[in-house]
Structure 1
Amino acid sequence: MATAGLTYDEVMAQSAQAKPQQGLVLDEAFDVIHQDDDKSEEEDFEDIEVEIKDDYVGRCTSVFVQYPRRVVVSILLITVLAMYATYLDNFSITVPSPYDWECPDDEYTLLRDAMMSAEDEADESKALTTRGDATFPFYYFYDSEPWNRDANCDGGIFTPQRLRAMCLAEEILTSNKEYQEDYCLLVNGTCATRSASVLQFFYDDAPCSLLDQARIDQGWAALQGNVFFVDKHAFQRGYACKARSIIYLGTPLTGYDETSKIGDDQALEMQEKLGSVMEQALWRSYDMEGHTLNSKYNQAARSSGMSVLWFAQPLAQREFSRLVNEDFLVAFASVLFVWCYLMYHLGSCFVGSMAMLQISVSLPLSLFFYRVVFRISYFAGMQILVVFVILGIGADDCFVFVDAWKQSLLLHDDTHKRLQYAYARALQSMANTSLTTAAAFLATAISPIMPIAAFGIYAAICVLMNYVLAMTMLPAVLIWHHNSSKCCTCSRTEIVEGGTCVERYLTILSWRKKIIAKILVLVLGGLSCTAAYLASRLEPPREPEEWFSQKHMFQQVADLIGGSNGGAYGANEDQAYDAFHVVFGIEGVSRDDFDPYVPSKRLASPDYVAIDLYEAQDAFLQACHLVETFAALVRPNTTLCFLREFQQWQTETYASTAMDRATFDSRLALFRDSTQPSNKLHGAWKAPVGIVNGELKYVRIDGRISMTQGAAIDERKKTLRRAQKLLKKIQQLDAPFLRPDKAFQVSGAWLWYETQVALVRGLTTGISIGFPVAFLVLTAATRNVILSLYAIVVIGCVVSGVLGLCYLLGWSLGIRESVAGVIVIGLAVDYTIHLGHMYDHARFHAHLATRDERTAYALRKMGRTVFAGAVTTAGAASLMFACQLTFFVQMACLIVFTIALSISLALGLYVPLLHVIGPEREQGNLWFLWRRLCPPKEKAAASEKRAASWRLDPVATTPAPRGLARPPSAPASVDSPPYGGAEA
């Protein structure tokens, strides 16, 4: 109805001119609900509302009408109490750990936990000295031809000026007091600063002076064959364009008795103390400046015509946390945008501000249930994404309710009756969208990948909580505003229904026997099929996930050393490859009280199986030989077989290998405590020789996988299959004392492979859950299988379109795409549900039967509302383009495109589909079919009689619509076709 801007009196004056309808109006059960042709519209609605005044809607709305301020204040007070309870529960932002993205119940995760828990139980090795293990590398990269600058590599990177610049860069770290006293790698009690630096070939321990060409040539000659330090084509070319160094940070630190792991207390200490000092010193040295939302690492560090880059895991963790906190500030900009749009669309500063407050309140209340009630402690960057999503969803709910409230002016001037109308309409419409959106988010909750599951749970709670607040706080706000004697100067009241754009669109759809509508259905349907084909070609990522932008220093480092092609260098150090282990003596693990939401705190206990290494020495050496020689599995010279070194040490120390069992055990313990592995990948024998409380419990063979860390999923799968074949050969050894049948192999590479597989499986599982749930909710909401089928097809087109865009952009099926593929169902379903609900609403409440009138009714009632919801959701998400982490930037792209595609297909495909082949009268109505097939026995005869009359009576065949269901300017007449179409 084109009544935008009309006041209540104007609408009622126009409506009074309409002639009363004649004919019989039937409900779904063929019961007469309007038979008195002389009764006015106002009397009709009065009779209806007298019947519902005492139901739950009437009771709820009476509370809002009588006590609006108390309701609002009570909700805000509850929110404050919930926030305080969350604070008392020690809520904090989770520090990322390397275990977060693992599948906690996967076979290889359990095997890794068994091995690591056994290592934790093992007795400390006395040979492990303070800071004697080269645990964390601090990388320096020097590039004379960086990708983001025009540079000439002629003559190479090893010139006097550039070598001196390299020396000064590394001296910033090596001359640092904290580094020298607390963190440097100690070799024989002395800091080993250049043991893995390219400068060892040129400077030795000399100061950073300008070298002459003869010394440089001598250093270049000594460097020949050491491909690790220069780019892969340097020796073929005759000069190097890139170079790199490593300065190791040693552990265990003073006060600790074991080597550090990423995320533990030692790593956090280095991150906070050394990391902050080093960052500031390096930034000052290279005049790197930045500000909020523009990291200093986005600036180039240059010296002597070359680019200087550095990287260390403690610095990366520190930078990631910093960027997450800064990117969260963008959420405040999104709040401001949605707030302004709410005030504009709702026509009131007060209502818009309170609606924004209602949306904001849903976040801490949801956090209370998430953290305190459900005991989920993980809250990190993924949950921040919920803020951007819930802003759009919450605004959409506000638009639905407030627009229904404004449109109630067409029917009543009584405040309670108006609220009853708006509440009843919004209650079902918002419940439909909230349930489907929450179900789509909960579909991610079954993911074995904890951050994705936690994100889905929190998002679903937020959606449901926002719905509860929209049905409690928002109606009280509307009554408060309505009753207030002081009106805001920016407040305006108008009836929002239809509008010029809606009427023009309806005219276009109906032009020349709906030819435009038919073309839209065919074209958009064909494009959706093409998008579905492209989406089917998505594959898991072949490269590591990118978390920083291309201009960020750490991403440039990742590109230099990573990737499926091995990066720019000829070889990486062995530590850059995943470790590989073959373990004997452990058969399982017990993880009592394991909390999947705190994976870094694993309370595991290994289950040992008895072995006798004294009797199984030959078998163990055979296993070492199999690991070393198995094709394309373990890198050369990385296999650590402790028994070989033990026998060699025994020969050198005792001149004989003959001994009894007691001597073997005592000498093995002495060897473990007095020597260190020749392979510098290990600082002590604690892990490979598992002596627990003085008794040998397990032994293992270590190595490094030959596959790069950035390998594609197919290569990972092939390498895993080779490792499984190796294990079968080991298990076939005739060595009952070694129990090879209980042996297992494990590597960190397998854990990430299972994560990649879980991402793909999670997407398909999420979609397989989200679509049926959406279909069931749609069917329950409309009780019309045809409407639901059309809607689910359109939602499928949206999902296909989004994933097809990912393929066109060259993205892979990684973390972002897997999450977005399921989220998109929840975001895409809103607009089609609203329009479908209004299409059905036209049949039951407005008593319209033809598809033309019901489509027009749906657009006039809900077209403006769904468009406003799309604007707020897309607008809030679009501000994430200002974020620094690529995760948020790409999610912004996905959400904005999802919303744009959803509203486009809802209005451009779903509406034309309804306009062309939408259900008419009772077509597809499940309740109608049920009543026809199984009518109540006592009313069967009467129902059949009424049905026959309905079929034969030309007036009753198309139940007369109420006057308010059509534009006042075109009153109905008994002499004209009942629905404005050609008379049957």
Structure 2
Amino acid sequence: MLFLPLAASTAILPYFHSVENLKWNREYIEIVAMDFGIKSTLFDEYLVHDMWLMATGIIFILFCMWLYTKSLFLTMVTIIGIVFSLGIAYFLYVLVFELKFFPFMNLLAIVVAIGIGSDDAFIFCKVWFKMKQEEKDRSLTHLLTDTFHHAFVSIFVTTLTTSVAFMASYVSSVTAICCFSIFAGTAVIANFLLMVTWFPACLIIWEKSCFSKDGISQSLFFTCLNGGYCSRIISSPINMLTWPKCSTVDKLWNSREKYLLNCVINLRYLWITILSGIAVGSIVIVLFYPKLKLPDSEDFQLFASSHPFEKYDFIYKDHFYFHRESCNSESNYELPLRFVFGVLPTDNGDHLDPTNLGTLELDPEFNMSDPISQVWLLKFCKNLKREPFFKAMMGPLLPNCYIETFLKSMQRTCSDFMSGQDRSPCCKSSIFPFSPDVFDKCIIQEMADIYETPSEFLIPGVAGPKFSKDENPTIKAVVVEYVSNYSYSMSYDVMNEFFNEVETFMNKQLTTAPKGMQSGWFVSELKFYDLQKELATSTMYAILLSMGLALAVLLFSTLNFLISFYAILTITFSIFVTIAVFVLLGWKLNILESVAISTAIGLTVDFSLHYSVNYRLCPSNLLNNRQAATSFALSYMAGPALMAAITTGAAGAFMLPSFILPYIKIGMFLVIVMSVSWLYATFFLGSLLATIGPQNHFGQFSYSKLYRRLKGKPSRDRIRSQPTNSSISDTQELETLTDKSLKTLSKSSQKSYKCGVSHNRVLSDQSPSATSAITIIMADEY
């Protein structure tokens, strides 16, 4: 062990960096841990230094979006929309909500906004391209209307569920979690507003810039969907900004999508069995063994476990006597018993600002001079000393339960033979319980005598009566304090046993307390225990509230109980599998982990909701065949969901080489939650819908008034969708969808079908919540 003659301050940060670059192994000696007292300062430095990892992830997301949308313009528009949504959220957070505290956890909302924003952009582009392919002769207005109606449902439902999942964390009493819930939920809502206004407008600008009136591509900056062929490359430096839509790339992507559809539908029983088994095992891991454990250290880990600062704090420091002595560790620190009367247990400070502690509120009913209160407090102290958690103390316990000391002092003789002083009425001439006048006068003299005791015998603490500061001081509060036979522990079970035992005693005593003493309460060194307890309860409440709100949104949007139940089951399995992976990795439910779980709920619901909503958007003529309806939902959403999972997961993977633990855990969290949620949404939910999904409108409800209103009016699409040279009639379209083709679809293990969207609508057979977005779907062989 080596002590350096250096002060633990930010001034030695350069010295640490020089030591950091030295070899720590010299034959038989190795430096395994160190403590320079600059842990927080170094964390702030690494926090800025490792931002390049996040920037690298954003660049990768840009590349993936460019690859998928085939347009650098749309890619930049999406990123700008994400930046705008974060800016709007920060503006509302600081200037409108007037929140002063901005915790580090809020930075996680950046990754959330990137994942959700790119997901919405992928969905909008996917629907737009499909509409263009199927409705080549329609105007941009009609194309945008059809695209907007179809994409709006998925984007709105996922935005609503994701935002309420974040907002549900507001039930927590942990300030950092509450602030994160507000900022993340606001960012999601702002992103939605931009995706239904900013992005469609930019999409039209992009489309109009692609072609001239004669249909010839005229833009160098915009790359357009041009019949599946590569755009003409003109020799110009700006062509480096384009990503031509080559048929080879399209065929490769379409073959993967075709393979995915076949894999889900043909192996559906296998996927249900395997993924259900994994989910059941995860439930056992999370709830039974080894379980999601609460933190057992007050030290908040900032760096990786291999860092010398963390090794000292978590492994070596408790081996040194000087550290145990200074920190009052478990071996010599008994938990205090503090009972407060006269102060109301209310927190009127700003719960979202940890620096605002509020003001003290006194109990207007408190009256210590009342004889009944004197008798009850004396009895309370005697009962306390008979409890098993009470520990006898040595020395003069003068102020600990001051009523006992005061009662003894009142047994003195009224005449002092040494000084000749007359102590009346503060002597044995007064009978307990004392009258209010005698009590108020004598208690001041008694406490003055106590505090004149030499410090070798008594060091006044928080115990005893607390007086007002007016001319005639009176007792405004009383603190009774002793020590317990419980030692301070970071174990939740030990501290919970201590708290419940003392709290039960306190509540029992208050049942017999007079009116002026009934607002008393118990407190001890319970800050870390309170954090543990709040994390355990509020995280569970947030999960249950988020799942309930997600189910309500699903029922509202699909109006089908079975589809909603399957989606919630999938989301529940995804959450348990994700948390089980965290448990196996050794994570404990600290603040960062609680925020991660809340974020996991918000991110996990997206993919399942996309598939569920699009299963309902499938037209009624396909709903009599589960495999056809599932194929429709997957064909629309599998691509965007996969790209969203890849981009968000990759952004997390780029953060893994970081020096600081929060970045590492955020990266691991994003990789795990994206992988698990996409896997279960695509393979488990897709298999469920293909196997036992509702068909022929089974379990489907409707808004009867809206339904009759829509049915009674002629559809404007029926009026404007007259057969032309470039379109086919309803009869011709329906003839292609024969029973033979549906039968082949359900049994084929080698063929895949592509769902195309027609411009003719069917309003009467659809759920009114989605009627404006429903189109006739063709099942054509690939």
TM-score in terms of structure 2 length:
0.72
Q: Which SS does the other structure have where 1:922 is aligned?
A: coil
Pairing partner for 2:107 from 384, 401, 414? 384
Q: CA deviation at 1:701?
A: 4.6
Distance verdict in 2 for CA 1:732–1:856, change over 3 Å: closer
Residue 360 and residue 667 in structure 1: after superposition, are their counterparts in 2 closer, same or farther (change >3 A)? Answer: same
Shift of 1:722: 3.6
Which residues in structure 2 correspond to 1:196-275 (within 5 Å)? 275=9
Counterpart in 2 of 1:284? 15
Alignment of 1:784 with 2:560, yes or no, is yes
1:474 positional shift = 0.9
**Does 1:905 pair with 2:680?**
yes
Distance 1:303 1:612 in 2: 71
User: 1:430, CA displacement in angstroms?
Assistant: 0.6
* Structure 2 portions without partners, runs of 5+: 210-217, 222-238, 427-440, 713-728, 748-782
**1:598 correspondence with 2:353:** yes
Judge conservation of contact 2:296–2:492 (CA < 8 Å) in 1.
no
Any idea what the Cα deviations from partners look like across 1:768-788, whole Å, max 9, x if unmatched? 222232223223333333222
Cα deviation digits, residues 600-633 of structure 1 (max 9, x gap): 2222223153335999999989988987886556
Query: Greater shift after overlay, 611-620 or 777-786?
Result: 611-620
Distance in 2 separating the partners of 1:732 and 1:976:
78
Residue of structure 2 aligned with 1:972, choices 729, 736, 757: 736
Deviation at 1:400, TM superposition (A): 0.6
> Which of the numbers 172, 185, 188 marks the counterpart of 1:460?
185
**Deviation at 1:435?**
1.0
Is it true that 1:833 corresponds to 2:585 in the alignment? no
Given residue 197 of structure 2, which amino acid in structure 1 is its aligned partner? T
Change (3 A) 1:472 1:824: same
- 2:334 matches 1:547: no
Which residue in 2 is equivalent to 1:437?
A: 162
Deviation at 1:685, TM superposition (A): 5.2
Is 1:402–2:155 an aligned residue pair? no
Report if aligned partners of 1:672, 1:685 keep a CA contact under 8 Å in 2.
Answer: no
- 8 Å Cα contact 2:560/2:699 also seen in 1: yes
CA 1:925/1:568 → structure 2, altered by over 3 Å: closer, same or farther? farther
Identity of aligned residues (%): 19
Worse-superposed segment, 886-895 or 596-605: 886-895
1:908-919 mapped onto 2 (5 Å cutoff) = 908-919=683-694
User: What is the deviation of 1:835?
Assistant: 2.0
Partner of 2:136: 412
Give the superposition deviation at 1:704. 5.9
Distance in 1 separating the partners of 2:396 and 2:594: 37
Q: Which residue of 2 aligns with 1:773?
A: 549
- The amino acid that maps onto 2:546 is G
Over residues 314-344 of structure 1, what are the superposed CA-to-partner deviations in whole Å (9 max), with x where a residue is unaligned? x555455555555556443333232222222
Contact 1:690 1:697 (C-alpha < 8 Å) held by counterparts: yes
Deviations 1:810-839 (A, max 9, x none): 434443443333332321221122222222
Which residue of the other structure, out of 451, 454, 479, is the alignment partner of 2:204?
A: 479
Partner of 1:857: 632
Instruction: State the match for 2:367 in structure 1.
Output: 610
| Structure 1 pair 748–334 and aligned structure 2 pair: CA distance change class (3 A) | farther
Distance 1:606 1:727 in 2: 21
| Pair 1:665-2:444 in alignment | yes
| Pairing of 1:555-574 with structure 2 (within 5 A) | 555-560=310-315, 572-573=325-326
Of 322, 338, 341, the residue aligned with 1:582 is 338
Displacement, 1:438?
1.1
Deviations 1:253-284 (A, max 9, x none): xxxxxxxxxxxxxxxxxxxxx7324x44xx63
Is 1:428 aligned to residue 180 of structure 2?
A: no
Q: Deviations over 1:278-306 (max 9, x none)?
A: x44xx63894337xxxxx9x989999877
Partner SS, residue 6 of structure 2: helix
Report if aligned partners of 1:584, 1:739 keep a CA contact under 8 Å in 2. no
Q: Secondary structure at the match of 2:244?
A: coil
Find out whether 1:700 has 2:425 as its counterpart.
Answer: no
Change (3 A) 1:319 1:634: farther
**Partners of 2:181 and 2:379 in 1: CA distance:** 49
Q: CA deviation at 1:361?
A: 0.9
Q: Matches of 1:978 and 1:615 in 2, distance apart? A: 86
- The separation in 2 between residues aligned to 1:838 and 1:305, in whole angstroms, is 61
Contact 1:330 1:880 in 2 (8 A): yes
Q: Give the letter for the 2:357 counterpart.
A: R
Instruction: State yes or no: 1:815 paired with 2:572.
Output: no
Q: How far apart, in 1, do the equivalents of 2:743 and 2:667 lie?
A: 45
Give the C-alpha shift of residue 974 in structure 1. 6.8
Alignment of structure 1 residues 899-978 onto 2, 5 Å: 899-927=674-702, 963=733, 972=736, 977=741
Is the contact between residue 794 and residue 910 of structure 1 (CA under 8 Å) also seen in structure 2? yes
Deviation larger for 568-577 or 538-547:
568-577
Give the distance between the partners of 2:699 and 2:504, measured in 1 at CA.
57
Cα displacement (A) at 1:866: 0.9
- Aligned partners of 1:367 and 1:777: how far apart in 2? 27
Partner amino acid for 2:651? A
Contact 1:341 1:872 in 2 (8 A): yes
Computed over aligned residues only, the root mean square deviation of the Cα atoms, in angstroms, reads 4.7
For 2:225, the equivalent position in structure 1 comes to none
Query: 1:464-495, CA deviations, whole angstroms, 9 ceiling, x for partnerless residues?
Result: 11111011111122222223353222133479
TM-score, normalised with respect to structure 1: 0.59
1:797 maps to amino acid: F
Counterpart in the other structure of 1:264: none
On the 8 A contact 1:450/1:596 being kept in 2, the answer is yes
The 1-side partners of 2:102 and 2:737 are apart by 62
Residues 157-196 of structure 1 correspond to what in structure 2 (within 5 A)? Answer: 165-166=2-3, 169=4, 171-173=5-7
1:521 paired residue number = 272
Counterpart of 1:268 in structure 2 is: none
Is the Cα–Cα contact under 8 Å of residues 406 and 494 in structure 1 kept in the other structure?
Answer: no
**Which residue matches 1:719?**
498
Name the structure 2 match of 1:374: 97
Aligned partner of 2:75 in structure 1 is 352
Aligned positions of 1:86-101 closer than 5 A: none
Structure 1 residue 356, shift from structure 2 partner: 0.7
- Take 1:395 and 1:825, find their aligned partners in 2: how far apart are those partners? 18
Counterpart check, 1:874 vs 2:607 = no
Does the aligned pair in 2 maintain the 1:432–1:781 contact within 8 Å? yes
- Within the alignment, does 1:896 sit opposite 2:671 as a pair? yes
Residue 534 (structure 1) aligned with residue 285 (structure 2): yes
Query: Structure 1 CA distance, aligned partners of 2:578 and 2:739?
Result: 50
Instruction: Note if contact 2:495-2:529 (Cα within 8 Å) is conserved in structure 1.
Output: yes
Residues 429 and 719 from structure 1, CA distance in 2 versus in 1: closer, same or farther, beyond 3 angstroms?
A: same
Q: Is the 8 A contact 2:400 2:464 kept in 1?
A: no
Report if the CA contact (8 A) 1:589-1:604 is conserved. no
Q: Conserved in 1, the CA contact under 8 Å of 2:106 and 2:183?
A: yes
Cα distance in 1, alignment partners of residues 628 and 324 from structure 2: 71
Aligned equivalent of 1:293? none
Could you say which residue in structure 1 is the equivalent of 2:171?
Answer: 446
Any idea what SS the aligned residue of 1:690 has? strand
Of 505, 512, 521, the residue aligned with 1:744 is 521
Residue matched to 1:804: 580
